[in-house]
Amino acid sequence: MRYRVLGGTGIEVSTYCLGTMMFGAVGNPDHQESVRIIHAALDQGVNFVDTADMYSAGESEEIVGKALRDRRRREATVLATKVYFPLGEGRNRGGLSRRWITQAVENSLRRLGTEWIDLYQVHRPDPRTDIEETLDVLGDLVTQGKIRAFGCSTFPAEDIVEAHTVAERRGLRRFRTEQPPYSLLARGVEASVLPVAQRYGMGVLTWSPLASGFLTGRYRKGRPIDLSTGRPALVPHRFDPALPTTAAKLDAVEEFVALADDLGCTLPELAIAFAAAHPAVSSVIIGPRTMDQLEGLLKGAPVLLTDEAMDRIDAIVPPGTDLYAPDGVWRPAALTDPALRRRPLGDRAAADA
């Protein structure tokens, strides 16, 4: 396992980060087996674990807490979690307000069974909350010793710039990391997000390196895809081979399979090595559900890609290109709320007068 410094935090993390979204009701409901998987990753050199309060409605954090109950394991592990998505029914149980973050961090600390969180991340932007409000409360949590550093996840480049500008003007602590989706099939963040993160000295931990399973080799061109089970049943529009985006992904996968064969590695190993090769990236999040999946992914840790291999990748999917929208769960309010894209009818009539 290789290690890198997480941006300007001074914290060394493994180039593979263990993502735990698949531990709990959404993926693997067996707590004991999930704990064994976490321990196996730690024993093989992974020292970075990422979770979120919304993964299986807090169950993932509880499982991670069980795995890190031993004090020595906890002290050796860089532990990251996230806040934003609504938890439970009722108002003010999500977002990035001081009110919710103050409550959510206490809930995460309790579920994780820890006194501190090494990296606390805001899971998505919150257009309802002034970024100054969010940075202010996060800075207070650092001062209180409840978190060591904080970052953002899946933020557009312009929101990252705004956050840093506000932090500088107001004398607030700033985001130290960004967690974007990044893979062979989704390279859009190369255009601005990754360069902006580098400009501000932010660490980057990327998610979905296997592109929702398309880079596992499980889904291949000309082979039927069962849309009734697993991930295809949850988001069938991402796997329907009749859709142009799915066809484009399957075409690219065939070329990446050939490249992996030429390099003497597996397709998943190629995919993770690619994400880790970008100079902005500190760590790549892997999200196994089973022990076999973990062991298969960790075998690729030594894989390094030559410039020739990177050139061949660029020829298949050009830099900065997304073959699909990598974050199918969240979209900015500017796109989801029609009122933000349309002048009131009276204003439109006055402008035409």
**Which residues does the annotation mark as catalytic?**
55
| SS3 call for 307 | helix
Which residues make Cβ contacts (< 8 Å) with residue 340, sequence separation at least 6? 333, 334
DSSP, res 211: G
DSSP, res 192: T
User: What is the DSSP track for 27-93?
Assistant: SB--HHHHHHHHHHHHHTT--EEE--TTGGGGHHHHHHHHHT-SHHHHHH-EEEEEE-S--SSSSSS
Packed helices 31-43 and 291-298: angle between N→C axes, nearest 10 degrees: 20
How many helices and strands, by DSSP H and E, does the chain display? 14, 10
Helix, strand, coil percent values for the chain (each to nearest 5) = 45, 15, 40
